[in-house]
Amino acid sequence: MAEESKEKLLEVEEVRQRIEELKRKVGEMADYIKIDERRQKLAALEEQQASGDFWNNQAKAKEVIAATNAERAYVVPFTSLTKTVEDAGVMLELAEMEEGLAQQTALKDTLAECAKADEYFGKLRLQSLLGGKFDQYNVFVKLHAGQGGTEACDWVSMLYRMYQRYAESQGWKVEEYDRQEGEEAGLKDVYFRVEGPYAYGMLKAERGIHRLVRISPFDANKRRQTSFASMETVAEIADDIDVEIKDEDLRIDTYRSGGAGGQHVNKTDSAVRLTHLPTGIVVACQKERSQHMNKEKAMNMLRAQLYEYYEDQKKAEMDRFYGAKSENGWGSQIRSYVFCPYTMVKDLRTEYETSDVNAVMDGAIQPFVEAWLQMKAK
């Protein structure tokens, strides 16, 4: 009995040390993310939202909401973290009052609570990697079919579904702006907006060429095919950021939703395509029934793309977004998705890989995103 009692005491002590370590890490995390400052800022932002005239300036209101969500992304998990560690401490105290099997069960429950705390630490560590100027913003995304013909168009459709599932897992909203159907199947292009805290910060990790290797469902001989698609991202910038767009630099084309058209072919056509002549940047939107609303959304997207274009010029990094773009084909991909003769998804930048292709195509790309963010932070 003495040996049994000593063994129980050691187990209790082990769990106690685990909790003490968590408490130490909580203190370090509080200092690292400056949690007191963030709580004060969040309280001030929430006070602004409670004001009766908050929505009088909708542009400003959107900025406040975005800033509020950014602060909550730190404060909420940290609050949950501290409560979880406190709960684990209380559970340990109760476990010490038990004996035998009851104590063993209580200690296991306490360790399970500690595991929850580790999950919150993981969320906060990820959040700390998202410190870019626009990381907290919404994002515009464009997927474009590269080499591979119908296969590439189908690949764009598959990637679009993957990002929709990923956005859903993050609690984000996806709003499609424009699409161009493939001649036989899939999509040549698709533009969409992702709304949610740190959508840009996360999805910028996916920017680049994605390569697919599989047995083609469009080939009667069932041969293996390689296809490519590009993924571009641009942050949805705030309205108070000045981006000059001269009327004479803009060409406006209208067309029927779901199909291409010429310049002002039909005044009642609702879809809008904007071409910025000096840069060649083209954006389009056919989501709304109103031509005016489609133009407004397209202008927002154009502002965002032009802002990054000009910022890149200042930094002499034109190849990052719209300058010396990588060829949408061999030798320039960031990630390979292999369905045959084996299954593997491998990121060529971080070396992170998994054999669970189906999970990835169903939106489980967070490990790839985090691996890239950690690599960039080094």
Quick: pLDDT tens for 7-26: 444 478 999 999 999 999 99
Asked if residue 150 belongs to a domain, the reply is: yes
Summarize pLDDT for 323-367 with one digit per residue, the tens: 445 555 545 689 999 998 899 999 999 999 999 999 999 999 999
Task: Give the domain-ending residue among 90, 105, 128.
Answer: 128
Confidence of residue 143 (pLDDT cuts 50, 70, 90): very high
Asked if residue 134 belongs to a domain, the reply is: no
- Residue-range definition of the domain harbouring residue 43: 2-128
User: Is the domain of 98 the same as that of 78?
Assistant: yes
Strand pairing class (173-181; 187-195) = antiparallel
Strand pairing class (344-347; 353-354) = antiparallel
Q: What is the mean pLDDT of residues 113-125?
A: 92
Looking at residue 263, what is its pLDDT?
A: 45
pLDDT of residue 121 exceeding 60: yes
Asked if residue 222 belongs to a domain, the reply is: yes
Specify the CATH number for the domain of residue 277.
3.30.160.20
Task: Give the domain-ending residue among 128, 151, 169.
Answer: 128
User: Is the domain of 168 the same as that of 82?
Assistant: no
Task: Give the domain-ending residue among 295, 315, 335.
Answer: 315
User: Is the domain of 373 the same as that of 333?
Assistant: yes
Summarize pLDDT for 277-320 with one digit per residue, the tens: 999 999 999 988 889 899 989 988 898 888 888 777 766 544 54
Q: What is the largest CA-CA distance in the chain?
A: 92
- Of 187, 188, 159, nearest to 174 (Cα)? 159
User: Is the domain of 251 the same as that of 346?
Assistant: no
Looking at residue 262, what is its pLDDT?
A: 44
- What is the DSSP code (8-state) at residue 206? G
Looking at residue 161, what is its pLDDT?
A: 98
Asked if residue 242 belongs to a domain, the reply is: no
Specify the CATH number for the domain of residue 160.
3.30.70.1660
User: Is the domain of 266 the same as that of 179?
Assistant: no
Summarize pLDDT for 253-269 with one digit per residue, the tens: 998 876 444 444 344 57
User: Is the domain of 165 the same as that of 43?
Assistant: no
Summarize pLDDT for 207-255 with one digit per residue, the tens: 999 999 999 888 777 788 899 999 999 999 866 677 888 889 999 999 8
User: Is the domain of 166 the same as that of 217?
Assistant: yes
Q: From CA 253, how far away is CA 272, in angstroms rounded?
A: 6
Looking at residue 4, what is its pLDDT?
A: 46
Confidence of residue 41 (pLDDT cuts 50, 70, 90): very high
* Sequence-ordered strand ranges (E) for the chain: 139-145, 173-181, 187-195, 208-215, 224-235, 250-255, 271-276, 281-285, 333-338, 344-347, 353-354
